[in-house]
Chain A
Amino acid sequence: MQKSFAMAALLAASCGAQAASDADLAAIRAQIDDMKRTYEQRIAALEQRLVQAESRVGEPAASAPSAPAPITAESRPSAAGPNAFNPEISLILQGQYRHARNVPGRGITGFVPGGDGLNTRGFSVDETELVLAANIDPYWRGQAIVAMADGQASIEEAWFQSLAIGQGVGLKVGRFRSSIGYLNEQHPHMWDFADAPLIYQAMFGEDASYVQDGVQLKWLAPTALFVELGAEVGRGANFPGTDRNNNGTGGGALYVHLGDDVGVSNSWRAGASWLKTRASERSSDFVDSNDVTAQGAFAGDSTTWLADFVWKWAPNGNSAHQNFKFQSEYFVREEQGGLNCSSQDPTSVCATSVGSSYKTRQSGWYAQGVYQFTPQWRAGLRYEQLDSGTRDFGLNAANLVVDSYRPKKASAMVDYSWSEFSRVRLQVAQDKSMLGITDHQLTLQYVMSLGAHGAHKF
């Protein structure tokens, strides 16, 4: 190509050369040489780019339907440098403005508190979650979630999972949110409401999730129906269990999840789970028959049964514009063991400690529906009710006030998302979780996700 161009240029030049002087000729030659050089440079650059492009595509021009004998090389986006192996990093920013009644020692009447109830009002920043995840090698993948708050950083999750076992088997080792129930595995930024359902707070304490340090083994059946069986064993240190320095295990769980599609627009998942934990010296505050604060220390077994159900609908299965999600969970917990009542206060009936048997059976449920009516707006309602159930304190029944109550709460929310990564939510709730108190709460919350695009569970 450059040859023919040079020839044409020479020809054109020679036509004019008849009338031109030697000086003109030299000037024209110099110009031609100049042009030739420029074009040669540009052609060389183009050729180089072509070679690069071809090596990236890794195959000859695909216009001819040749046999696929030359196996096409797979090209990857060029990712060089030492940073290329950095894990996927994301950071969750979450905070709120909350308007509620001031109730010191907020709790749920009729239920043993699993921690101090949240009584934060006004502006506050929730824990900032830092998520790091990467494939470790072809066999394992790891993930850590660090929750940072003022003066503390806690390991929310830190586990590795198998990639290469096959046969539907999955193994997870470390600290992980247990796969029991539905909401238990989800971090607060994935919740559809600003707070966790009351039953999660009553059953698992202020973090509203059961976290296990241990091993999870699950198996997915080779069927068109989604059937997942899982078993977990571990330290069992979290409420309703307590940490103990023992050999062996302190807690375990079993679960089964089923799921499928109904037509193209609907899909569902249902599950049943069982959680067993052990507690020793699990102390919580009671009020004794003299109206004095006393401590009750529970030692024994807790068994929690969970049933969960989720139904999602989207027209044609296209959830980007409109979708509806219904979810409900039902919990029953039985605790059996002994209760030791004691108090520092000499006026308490437990001033000299009293031991007794302890047997409870308590339950609760919630149901919620969230409707996304445009790509950016969603609205939802949640209703929940707990039942303090039977609480048999044996000998201590005479010493302690045993509340019998059915806490209730109704919440409504509306949220707006600018993109998949940013959301702001307004929630109002009527909270009757404490005997004699009706708390009207208003929460304005934001959830922002920075960095790697994490995939969310169903």
Chain B
Amino acid sequence: MKHFIFACFFGLTVGTAQADLRIFATVPEWGALAQEIGGGKVKVYTATTAFQDPHRIDARPSLLAQARQANLVVAAGADLEIGWLPLVLRDSGNSGIQTGQPGYFAAANFVNRLEVPATLDRAHGDVHAAGNPHTHLDPRNVLKVGMALTARMAELDAANAAAYQAGYQAFAGKWQAALARWQTEAAPLKGAPVLVHHASFAYLLNWLGMKEVGTLEPKPGIEPTSGQLTSLLARQQSAPAKMVLRAAYQQPGPSQWIAGKTGMPAVLLPYTVGGTAEAKDLFGLFDDTVQRLLKGLR
């Protein structure tokens, strides 16, 4: 009997060890990237959707249960998930995914971050000490993160290392081609001044050479106020913006108000995979983003 129980327990342990690499992605974009690289060898759980503000997520019981079983946590990093992820990691009882372990991967650590604040003071709002965390909207960053993520996946699951590398190669090849296409298509956007709801698009605007001339939020993480909106309206005379951008998870009210007053289009961008019907995957995300921006410019 004892042997039987032992055998069962052993079998269970081995069984879990041979299962797919289980990936817990905090945000849809990095979940999608892990899926591109891992293909059928990985099981990706994405903790949030494109309609949820990634700063404001509850440490839900379901997230703890998923983190408990994950081999790899893929986070955006740069404090984006600071309000919930540290708690999920610590209470998961999973030693492999703690910060500093190979099972914890923060995308923002592998790219050049923008808007790293020189001074840290909450008088400037909910600032991120490590810089703007919305790094994925520069498609060149997606490649950098993909390369590092592939290496990490290969490290954790050496048996499938070749498959991950092949997956990344195939993805990167298609991505290069798409990148060239997006850059050509987006050429007219260069220099276009825009308003944004929150600084979620810093990397996108930087990549496309567009200019952010104002944010609807008076300070990061503080909801748009009527005072801020009126001051933007006044500024529209001297430094006119061409459109006002918001992510799928942000409320439409403020940007529609500005749009109504000024006549500029309010453009909803998917922000991440799943944010619009067209943004089914990472390619769709950028296809749709570029198309929506071009439409806004017209």
Contacts and interface: CB of A to CB of B under 8 A. Distances in A.
Interface residues of B, number: 72
Among B65, B101, B151, B172, residue most surrounded by chain A Cβ atoms (within 10 Å): B65
B94 A65 contact: no
Nearest to B153: A68
Contact of A72 (B49, B95, B148): B148
Interface string B62-94: 101110110000000011001111110011111
Contacts of A219: 93
Interface in A262-288: 264, 267-269
Contacts of B16: 222
Nearest to A161: B90
A437 B240 CA distance: 64
Given A77-B116, A165-B93, A455 B82 contact: yes
Nearest to B98: A163
Interface in B106-135: 106, 109-113, 116, 122, 125-126, 129-131
Contacts of B116: 77
A58 B144 CA distance: 10
Given A164-B98, A376-B223, A226 B143 contact: no
Interface string B34-68: 00000000000000110111011111111011101
Nearest to A75: B109
- Summarize A's interface: helix, strand, loop or mixed: loop
Interface in A207-253: 218-228
Contact of B51 (A141, A164, A227, A317): A317
B213 interface: no
Contacts of A456: 59, 83-84, 87
Contacts of B122: 419, 421, 450
Interface in B132-148: 140, 143-144, 147-148
Contacts of B251: 321, 375
Interface of B: 16, 48-49, 51-53, 55-62, 64-66, 68-69, 78-79, 82-87, 90-96, 98-101, 106, 109-113, 116, 122, 125-126, 129-131, 140, 143-144, 147-148, 150-151, 154-155, 165, 168-169, 172-173, 175-176, 221-223, 249, 251
Interface of A: 53, 56-59, 62-63, 65, 67-68, 71-72, 74-77, 135, 138, 141, 161, 163-170, 218-228, 257-261, 264, 267-269, 312, 316-321, 375-376, 418-421, 450, 453, 455-458
